Structure 1
Amino acid sequence: MPYKTQDMVVVTGTSSGIGRATAEQLAAEGFHVLAGVRRQEDADKIKQNNIEPMILDITASDTLRALAERVEQDPLGRPLRAVVNNAGIAVNAPLEMVPLDEFRRQIEVSVIGQVAVIQALTPALLKSGGRVVNIGSVGGKISMPGFGIYSAAKYAMEAINDSLRREMSSFGLKVIMITPGGVSTSLSEKGVTTADRLSKLMTPDQHRRHDRLFDAVKAQAESWATSGIPPKKVAEVVSRAIHASNPRTRYTAGRDSALLTRLVRILPDKLLDRMLRSQMKLQ
């Protein structure tokens, strides 16, 4: 379907970072953006021309039903051009000690919630010949020490993205993965806060084993927060994926993503292990 001004786009997780930048980018291009946020104060901040905030918890079926109904019953009959699956959280801690409830929360939000959004909006996307754009991460290609829980969710979304693309290609639904590297967003800052909270749960033995790793995880997240690419750069890649008449199945965003996604395919595991531990100053 050719691009038309005022086609609708759904973007989840728009209170800040990649989601907000994407909503603003697409709104400036003329799309009517349904911007998912969890709190009214965030809805008030993002509301602007062509952006209609919606209270959306991707783990809550009632808000997903409301979203699907809003799309289906659009008063102007606008088609749904795309859904941008961006909402997520970051739980960063050594696998030995991460509470299993935290692991479940990571998967519930960053995997099951993403699938729930796709399921809720598939009928509208099939009707319009639209597309699903999943915001992945280089963490879905390479799992760094201390980031295993987050990477587990991102690896899972890689599998879901590939399977969905192959299942739905005959029906005209395009499925695209965007893989950013380090991005300067509040997600990194929230990851540091979570790591600080979880570090207090360790036993003395775990502290001896993992204090250096916790410090490295926080330093890495802080580095992304200050020196990562701006969210707008990712939003521009999302825009290209939505506008392209024949989009690629995958796009990277940031030089580190382009480099690491190649290295992981060619380097032996043990060499990659040493490189990552050295980069995080763990050896």
Structure 2
Amino acid sequence: MAYSGDPVLVEDLLFRPVHSLIDQSLHSRMGATTTNGDGFGIGWYGEGPKPAVFKCIEPAWNERNLREIASQIRTPLLFAHIRASTGTAVQRSNCHPFRHENWMWMHNGAVHGFHVMKRTLAMAVDPSLYDGIEGSTDSEMLFFLALTFGLTDDPFTAVAKAVGFVEDVGARRGVENPMQGTIATTDGISVWIFRYSTERQTRSLFYSADITAVRAQHPEVEVLYRLGDDTRFVVSEPLRDLEGAWLEVPESSAGIIRGREEQFRAFEPVSPVRST
């Protein structure tokens, strides 16, 4: 889940919605697994330009420290992620979101065949960035490939090149359908989102409609009046059932959300020079 808008208590974002991310950690309706108990992480922007992160290998539903800090943190931009490992170790450094300077990154999905591609992918990461990799996941490797290909200057092109590189390497290693997933990344101001898989059957991703329109459609829902007009959510699953409140991100597409504005475009991987 990603939230941007007026500063709000993390507790209100993580625990209060009917189908909150905490509820989804036990009862996912659309995910690859019903239970996501291999750790969690939150990242938020506060007083400084760089985000803070809190990660833990405990299940999100069972971590008392998360509820403690969530009741005290107020932020205009939150990333939150619950993890179900796709083969790498359950350890703190493998929990999302991942951070580099003022950027954060989350990935829901997998780089299939990662174990046979890992060395080639790692060798493509810019040497000046490599020591920033803390864990062993495909998701963090994808983040650092995107950084290598220019994420901080042009996120759309950088992610297209990172995914293109993964598919190129997968083709050479005989990996079928190497890329699967939805991605969210932010510089603390804008949120870029991507939905793509090699087989064009990508995991679910939604973003919230303009909240003023949702309020007009559902005047009986009190919580909507506690959220600012610039409120936007990006979620793997809707947080509650409200007709017209959630819009599905189209298959093979990418978008940028900034306040009440959003722009979407078709997403196609690009084969970077580095992959030849």
* TM-score (structure 2 length as normaliser): 0.29
Larger relative helix fraction: 1
* TM-score (structure 1 length as normaliser): 0.29
Greater Cα radius of gyration, structure 1 or 2: 1
